[in-house]
Copies of this chain bind each other. A is one copy, B any other.
Amino acid sequence: MLTDEHALRVTLRSRPVAMPVLADFALEQTSIPQPAAGEVLVRTIYLSLDPYMRGRISSNELYETPVAIGETILGGTVGEVLQSRADGLAPGDFVLGMGGWQSHFVAHAADLTRLDPSHAPLSTALGVLGVPGFTGFAGLREIGKPQPGETVVVAAASGAVGTVVGRTARAAGARVVGIAGGAEKVSYLNDFGFDAAVDHRSPTFAADLAAAAPNGIDVYFENVGGAVWEAVMPLLNPFARIPVSGLVAHYNEDSSPSGVDRLGQFMRTLQMKRFTIRGFVQSDFVDTQWEAFQREVAGWIAGGSFDYREDIVTGLENAPQAFIGLLSGRNFGKLLVRVAAEETDVRHIV
């Protein structure tokens, strides 16, 4: 029996207006849930924090139902099975699932994926070998289609999406330019193997980007929007491809800024230069790209040619602050919350 133990969870207290604040979140103590037949009880080890969550806690979300007020915030997790009432999963198994911002949860076995801890570090299932990495890999392959010698640009380049975009583009023979904020990240990108790295916080950012892409830009992996997109647009070559996976710079906007309306002119440029712009969600490409993704990225990790970074915050209670920081680019590498240690505390299992 699980005794004198409590579960923790973070719920949505109020819908954020523009940038979320700590008061939009609530930390609650609850009892540990019990699995029904066919279910397992999981303790969360790692919680993934991702920009898409900003959309899910808004009321104007278009493609999914938003998180309700008072509900636990959703999120991908790696955890360990504590109790099982389902075939195929046993206590001690590690599982990937959508556990959300909480220390314990019950789930149907069908909604969990068992992880082999000898395949790759467990945390990578939420980063470079998980949904973020797959977003970069599949969007670049299916929409960006980089050719040898072409120039690929990606922003937020030190994160899980960005490093996979960079590594995948390099494998395709393209020249890769990474954009990140601050000297430390730029230095990392150079070490990682980007052909050039540009700091978007520099006052000369637009000129720096132009210098880093002297032959123009053939593929821009758009996961940021805002000022980066402004600097990229004039550099796009004819027939440029632009996979659009997210626009973190606009997630906190509740209305469009006033000023000159550039939509019409942009569409005209798109026609004249024959751009392809396509929005996507990684799940659109699971059928065609998932197996190649797992094989290739795991191979790069095992072969030592993929120096990904993780930014790990300890304690579920620190998830809201870490998430707010994520929206401002304060993390460095894939942002995870370590909710519990990887080693099982056997006292808690009968």
Contacts and interface: CB of A to CB of B under 8 A. Distances in A.
B222 A247 contact: no
A245 interface: yes
A142 to B, nearest CB: 11
Given A279-B272, A279-B273, A260 B262 contact: no
A270 B260 contact: no
A259 B260 CA distance: 6
Contacts of A280: 271, 274
A229 interface: yes
A271 B246 contact: yes
A280 to B, nearest CB: 5
Interface in A55-83: 55, 61-63
A261 interface: yes
A278 B276 contact: yes
Contacts of A278: 270, 274-278
Copy number in the complex reads 2
B267 A256 contact: no
Nearest to A143: B276
Nearest to A262: B263
Interface string A224-260: 0110010000000010000011110110010111111
B256 A258 contact: no
Contact of A270 (B229, B261, B275, B277): B277
A255 B274 CA distance: 20
A164 B198 CA distance: 47
A250 B225 CA distance: 24
A269 interface: yes
Given A256-B260, A276-B278, A278-B277, A267 B222 contact: yes
Contacts of A226: 264
Nearest to A281: B274
A223 to B, nearest CB: 9
Contacts of A264: 225-226, 229, 247, 249-250, 253, 256-257
Interface of A: 55, 61-63, 222, 225-226, 229, 238, 244-247, 249-250, 253, 255-281, 284
